[in-house]
Amino acid sequence: MKPVTQPHTHKSELSKQLALRTGWLRLASLLGSGVLLGTLSLSAHAGSLISHTDYLDYELPKETQEKCVERENCPDIEIKYLKTNHQWINAITNERINHLVVNSKPTESAPITSKSNQADVKAAIDDFVTSQFADLPEDSVFVYNLMVTPEYLGHVNNLETFEINSYVFTGGAHGMPYSEYLVFDQKSKKQIQLADMLQPGKKSKFKALAYNAYKDWVKTVDEDVASYEKNWPFTLSDNITVTDKGIDIRYQHYAIGPYAYGMPVLSIPYSKLSGVIKPRFIAK
C-alpha cells in the first residue's frame, strides 16, 4: 500500500501543513496497521537500464504511534530506495540515501557520518519521529516531515543520470529541501564527478563559464548583478549532471540566493565546453 504523499512546493509552510492534515487519518490507519510499505513503479528504459523505486519498510515506535494517531499529527516519513537492473548503481545511490537519512538532523551527539547501515537508518528515523513530541506543543498543527527519494533523469551517451531529492521539516518558517545529482558511466561502471569530466588544467575555464551562467541567472531575479553579488557571491558547485544540451550545475538553498529563490540550476551549453571537458562527455 502506498503511503500518503504530500506535495513539496514553495508556498507558505502553514498552508502546506494545513493541506497535509487532510491526509493524516489515512496515514494514521497505515501506521496503525504497522508498516509503511509499498512499491511505486517508475519504469524508464534507456539502453539497458530499467529503473523504479521501492518504499522503505518502516514501523513507527509503538509509543509514537499511540500519540500521533490520537492527536492526528503523525510524522510524515517517505523514504524510497532505487532499484534498477544494475546493482552497482543501486549500491552507490542507496548508500547516499542512507547518508541523507542518518544525517537528516545532525547534532553534536549525532554528528554527520559518511557511512551507515540499515540499523543506523532505523535509529535515525526513530529519533527523528520521536523528537517531534519533545519539540512541539501538544496542540501544534505542524508535523515533522522526512522525505528522500531518487529519480531517474535520463541517458546521455554511456551515462545514466539520477537525482536524489530530500525534504526535512522540523518546525520553523519552512522546511529544507535538498537535491543531489548522480552520474554513472555504464562503460567504466563508476560514478562520474566534475573532476572526471574536465580536461587537465581546465577547471579555471569551467569556473569562468559557470560564473557567466551565474550572472545570466542573477539577471532573471535582480537588475543589478554587482549589488546582488555582494550579498550572494558566486561559488562553484560540483553538484553537476549532463543533459542533451550541456552541463547543469545545481545549487542548494542559500548557496547563491535567498530561500525564496529555490535551488538554482546554472546551465552551460556544450558549444562552450569544447576543449574544456573531455569529448566523450559531450552529447552526440
> CATH no. for residue 175?
3.30.565.40
The whole-number pLDDT of residue 36 equals 40
Structure letter (DSSP) for residue 136? S
Is 1 inside a domain boundary? no
Is 205 inside a domain boundary? yes
Please give the full DSSP string across 168-228, using - where no structure is assigned.
Answer: EE-SSS--EEEEEEEEEETTTTEE--HHHHBPTT-HHHHHHHHHHHHHHHHTTT-S-HHHH
158/46 Cα distance (integer angstroms)? 10
246/267 Cα distance (integer angstroms)? 7
Is 7 inside a domain boundary? no
Contact in structure between 47 and 143 (CB atoms under 8 Å): no
Contact in structure between 46 and 114 (CB atoms under 8 Å): no
Is 4 inside a domain boundary? no
232/223 Cα distance (integer angstroms)? 14
Is 8 inside a domain boundary? no
Q: If we measure between CA atoms, which residue out of 142, 108, 109, 148 comes closest to residue 125?
A: 148
pLDDT tens digit string along 62-101?
888 888 888 888 899 999 999 999 999 999 999 999 999 9
> Nine-digit cell at 30?
497505515
164/149 Cα distance (integer angstroms)? 6
The whole-number pLDDT of residue 2 equals 38
Same domain, 75 and 177: yes
Same domain, 48 and 109: yes
Same domain, 178 and 203: no
Is 139 inside a domain boundary? yes
Question: For residue 272, what is the domain's CATH number?
Answer: 3.90.640.20
Same domain, 186 and 198: no
The whole-number pLDDT of residue 74 equals 87
The whole-number pLDDT of residue 113 equals 55
284/264 Cα distance (integer angstroms)? 26
120/222 Cα distance (integer angstroms)? 44
Same domain, 182 and 203: no
Contact in structure between 174 and 13 (CB atoms under 8 Å): yes
Question: What's the total number of domains in the chain?
Answer: 2
> Nine-digit cell at 216?
545570466
The whole-number pLDDT of residue 142 equals 79
Q: Per-residue pLDDT tens, the chain, 284 aa: give them.
A: 334 333 333 334 434 443 444 343 333 333 333 334 334 334 344 458 889 999 998 888 888 888 888 888 889 999 999 999 999 999 999 999 999 999 886 544 444 456 678 888 999 999 998 888 887 777 777 789 999 999 999 999 999 999 999 999 987 788 999 999 999 999 999 999 999 999 999 999 999 999 999 999 999 999 999 999 999 999 999 999 999 999 999 999 999 999 999 999 999 999 999 999 999 999 87
User: What range does the domain containing 48 cover?
Assistant: 13-191
Same domain, 185 and 203: no
Contact in structure between 247 and 240 (CB atoms under 8 Å): yes
> Nine-digit cell at 130?
520521536
Q: How many CB atoms lie within 10 A of CB 247?
A: 27
Same domain, 154 and 221: no
Same domain, 54 and 97: yes
The whole-number pLDDT of residue 73 equals 84
Contact in structure between 103 and 113 (CB atoms under 8 Å): yes
Same domain, 147 and 263: no
Same domain, 25 and 125: yes
Last residue of a domain, one of 191, 206, 233: 191
Same domain, 116 and 209: no
Same domain, 198 and 187: no
The whole-number pLDDT of residue 132 equals 84
Last residue of a domain, one of 191, 215, 230: 191
The whole-number pLDDT of residue 22 equals 36
Last residue of a domain, one of 158, 191, 224: 191
